[in-house]
Chain A
Amino acid sequence: EAGVTQFPSHSVIEKGQTVTLRCDPISGHDNLYWYRRVMGKEIKFLLHFVKESKQDESGMPNNRFLAERTGGTYSTLKVQPAELEDSGVYFCASSPRSGAGTSPLHFGNGTRLTVT
């Protein structure tokens, strides 16, 4: 089966610009997650979709970040306007069922975002 795919793999933008990251989960996986790793820090949870609904968005840093999953398939994460501290690697993950204990996550390769 195809894995979780993320696009683009790299993005370099200037402060104040807008960037949209895309994630295509494994087919049939209702659960989709976004995580972020800022340089030298932990990988941090951003949010969790179940189909098209936001189950948990407690990790979203601020209102410059907008995640959508229209139709419950692929998801986008938009950063507008981007700030320097948004630089990092953004990971997407999917799983067929909810519950970290019952359904481990499948991660994509990540999008490396650099804001200059």
Chain B
Amino acid sequence: AQSVTQPDIHITVSEGASLELRCNYSYGATPYLFWYVQSPGQGLQLLLKYFSGDTLVQGIKGFEAEFKRSQSSFNLRKPSVHWSDAAEYFCAVGAGGGADGLTFGKGTHLIIQP
């Protein structure tokens, strides 16, 4: 069965600093990988996705993520965070094909210090 691990429950960074959120997955085949963000009172918004091809994917709001098969990782990065990036971030893996249910990690709360 597939699984996703986000080892950091909370992360605090200063505004303007760089950010990396960790995600490790377990899946037997090539996974479909996603990062979602949930701002307070909002639904989950897709930041970026990886299906195949270039292992460095660009998303919205200046985020990027790199797929590393050897490490089973799909870490999310941003070179300079803004106060508006404070939210909860979820990594997810999908099996694709006929199995549509996404498997999510527990999420990482991002706190931005002024």
Contacts and interface: CB of A to CB of B under 8 A. Distances in A.
Given A99-B97, A100-B94, A105 B43 contact: no
Interface residues of A, number: 30
A58 B42 contact: no
Interface stretch (A12-20, A69-77, A107-115): A107-115
A42 interface: yes
Nearest to A4: B43
A42 B107 CA distance: 7
Interface residues of B, number: 28
Interface string A1-35: 00110000000000000000000000000010101
B32, B99, B101 interface centre (most CB from chain A within 10 Å)? B101
Contacts of A42: 4, 103-107
B43 A109 contact: yes
A56 interface: yes
Given A33-B100, A43-B90, A100-B100, A91 B43 contact: yes
A55 B97 CA distance: 13
A114 to B, nearest CB: 16
Contact of B102 (A55, A58, A105): A105
Contacts of A108: 43
Interface in A76-116: 91, 93, 98-102, 104-110
B4, B32, B43, B92 interface centre (most CB from chain A within 10 Å)? B43
